[in-house]
Amino acid sequence: MANRLTGVVVLVVACAAAFSFTAAAQSRPTGARVSSFYDLKTSYLDGKPADLGVFRGKVALVVNVASKCGFTPQYEGLEKMNRELAPKGFAVLGFPSNDFGQQEPGTPQEIAQFCKLTYDVTFPMFSKVVTAAGPEQSPIYSFLGRSGHLPAWNFSKYVIGKDGRILAFFPSEVTPESPELRGAIAKALAAN
């Protein structure tokens, strides 16, 4: 009887502790401790865990990508930019999204195959995300939304500084070759 009573007491204490922890976690604002893009964690397109901290100290261009969009040919310019600037501490980071016109309906395998075979994409691709504000929004885009900008369509671009701060936002129409995007990246690369 004493063992059973001890077991019940341990169970009650454990449940109370778990409830207390859960309530505290839920009361914390989403992303409250995230002060840098590079503090975030997600997963790669193949499902393996991805710590964005591996890009700390680099300039990143974050792009919400889609395989069946009028802007999809921008993959070519993004890959060219990635290859050209990677030695200088730069990375393009692709986040597939099916938010706009359902233009990224594929499985992770289909997305990876399309990107490799069509555009020879070598820059990191991550799991499909929801960019739009709401309960399903990815923590990645919740953080990026702090800039005052969320994508209005596929291939919107954020320039992220070496410290993980959002430095600039460019809408879909701004191509990888555009002087304003190239200028923002060059300025970020030149910064300490």
The CATH number of the domain holding residue 116 is 3.40.30.10
pTM of the model: 0.83
Give the residue from 91, 107, 79, 93 showing the smallest Cα distance to 141: 93
In the chain, the amino acid numbered 131 is T
Q: Is 15 annotated as catalytic?
A: no
pLDDT at 32: 53
pLDDT at position 192? 79
* Residues of the chain under the 70 pLDDT cut: 1-33
Which range marks the domain in which residue 20 is found?
1-30
Q: How many domains does the chain have?
A: 2
**117 plus 185 within the same structural domain:** yes
95 and 180 together in one domain? yes
159 and 146 inside one domain: yes
Q: Is 106 exposed, middle or buried (0-12, 13-18, 19+ CB in 10 A)?
A: middle
Residue 20 tokens, joined: 């207390």
Check the CA dihedral 110-116-119-121 and report its sign: positive
Cβ proximity of 189 and 88 under 8 Å: yes
Residues 2 and 49 occupy one common structural domain: no
Question: Mean pLDDT for the chain?
Answer: 87
What pLDDT sits at residue 68? 97
Options 69, 85, 144, 184, the catalytic residue: 69
pLDDT of residue 2: 47
